[in-house]
Chain A
Amino acid sequence: MKTISILFLSFLIMNFAFAQSAEINAKAPNFSLKDSNGKEHSLSDFEGKTVVLEWINYDCPFVKKHYDSGNMQSLQEKYTQKGVIWLAICSSAKGKQGHFSNDEINKRSKEHNAKFTAYLIDEDGKVGKMYGAKTTPHMYVINSKGNLVYAGAIDDIKSTDKDDIKKAKNYVAKALDEVLSDKEVTTKTTTPYGCSVKY
């Protein structure tokens, strides 16, 4: 009887966890995912740290814009050096664009000289849906208190043209600069642009 109660309680907790959806200025929902090397990471592992979530699909032209130009890697390098945890998350389902084997992910990440903390695999899309991820890229910033403080686009020019990057206002950099200076994030939400997440 006790075992059944514990199992039932665990079932309720699991359902509650996955029923949660991300909200601005609220606690970012926890999740656990394996990275491209098979190591499991939970958001709760990074308690006290600023965390960036970046939805990724290496074959999407909008993701290519930011990786082929080196823009995304520059952001990753700049902010991880300041102690930020940067998690790239791929929610492409098996057989869909952007879903790759671990070897292929690691090969592509190396070719791009990616500087994220980890590339996480969310092939059942549960974490993507919990965070309302619509596009690749779709960017989120979580502050050191664990609250979601930014959700939206990487920048304000909706295009696949690399030349637009230097003209664009980068929302993620601005949010991170504000968070790291203990300031309130001024632009909390923007409309993301990119390929649809291939759930």
Chain B
Amino acid sequence: MKFILIIILSFTKILSPQSKAVAEIFLFQNQEKSQIILKVNLEKGWHLYWRNSGDAGIPTEIKWELPEGISISNSLWPVPKAFESEGLVSYGYENEAIFLFDFITNDVNDISKETVSCKINSLICKEVCIPFDTMIVFNLSDIKTIKNFSEIFHHNEINFPINNSSIKLNASLQSDKILLEVIKDNLIENFNKISFFPYENGVIKNAMYNNFVIKDNKYLIDLYLDQFKTHIPPKLEGLLILTFEENKILNKKAYEISVDLIQ
């Protein structure tokens, strides 16, 4: 029986040359699962980029070098924040970021002494940008184990997108935009704003929020095409994010979507 291990960032602390960012690896274990965690601590006000960096920066890339008998089955990226400046919108994580990885191995004890390396290629920015290229090398047996995310994460909870949700939607190409139709059923109500953060850059104009109207039982969301769109993909993939207010605090609920684009 395969042992599923999910890894979150970091036991070994790696400082960037400018010490604006520190990467760490941890092991997360509870009764249900084990995971590896990669965590990046940033100096206040600095951010690093999401898998789609948006109008500036470069996408964060995380590459693993794994011993035989171990593989990554899944990686989880938390819902990013949009940063807007003079009409340019980029996506990323401010102050701290946490990434989860599911590892599969036949027997965790067999590989506990094996060396694993995690290479991060990214860019961190505030008013200026600095490359953030780091490699963390560790043994699974040496990773600090945590039982609760709050031990290492300063926010109340990590906001991961909802996968495989039952929301129904359609996407169709129009002259200068993609019209995304989302059936209201199975979506939360009373939200204030809708955003769509695409996985692929260069197709849709990056935006903090997208215009929408309600028609019958649907939300009709306008996703304008980029001024220099590179191509029209067969599928629209990304995060549909609903922003709502709860106890005077703005919260976000994100759904991972993948829908055929009708052309």
List residues of A whose CB falls within 8 A of some B CB: 21-24, 59-61, 96-97, 125, 129, 132, 134-135, 151-152, 158-161, 189-191, 193-197, 199
The answer for the CA separation of A193 and B122 in the assembled complex, in Å, is 12
How many A-B residue pairs have C-beta atoms within 8 angstroms? Tell me.
68
> Which 6 A-B pairs rank lowest in CB-CB distance, beginning with the nearest?
A196-B56, A191-B202, A199-B86, A160-B131, A189-B228, A158-B58
The answer for the CA separation of A197 and B57 in the assembled complex, in Å, is 10
| Inter-chain contact A97/B228, CB cutoff 8 Å | no
| Inter-chain contact B85/A196, CB cutoff 8 Å | yes
| Inter-chain contact B88/A196, CB cutoff 8 Å | yes
B56, B127, B129: the one contacting A134 at CB < 8 Å is B56
Map CB proximity to A onto B74-108 as digits: 1 under 8 Å, 0 otherwise.
Answer: 00000000000111101000000000000000000
- Smallest Cβ distance from B175 to chain A, in angstroms? 14
Q: List 30 A-B contacts (CB under 8 A).
A: A21-B227, A59-B128, A61-B130, A97-B127, A97-B128, A129-B87, A132-B227, A134-B56, A135-B55, A135-B56, A152-B228, A158-B59, A159-B58, A159-B121, A160-B131, A161-B133, A189-B202, A191-B201, A191-B230, A193-B58, A194-B56, A194-B57, A196-B55, A196-B56, A196-B57, A196-B85, A196-B125, A197-B56, A197-B86, A199-B87
The answer for the CA separation of A199 and B192 in the assembled complex, in Å, is 29
| Inter-chain contact A23/B227, CB cutoff 8 Å | yes
List residues of B whose CB falls within 8 A of some A CB: 53, 55-59, 85-88, 90, 121, 123, 125, 127-131, 133, 201-202, 227-230
A189 nearest CB neighbor, chain B only: B228
A91 nearest CB neighbor, chain B only: B86
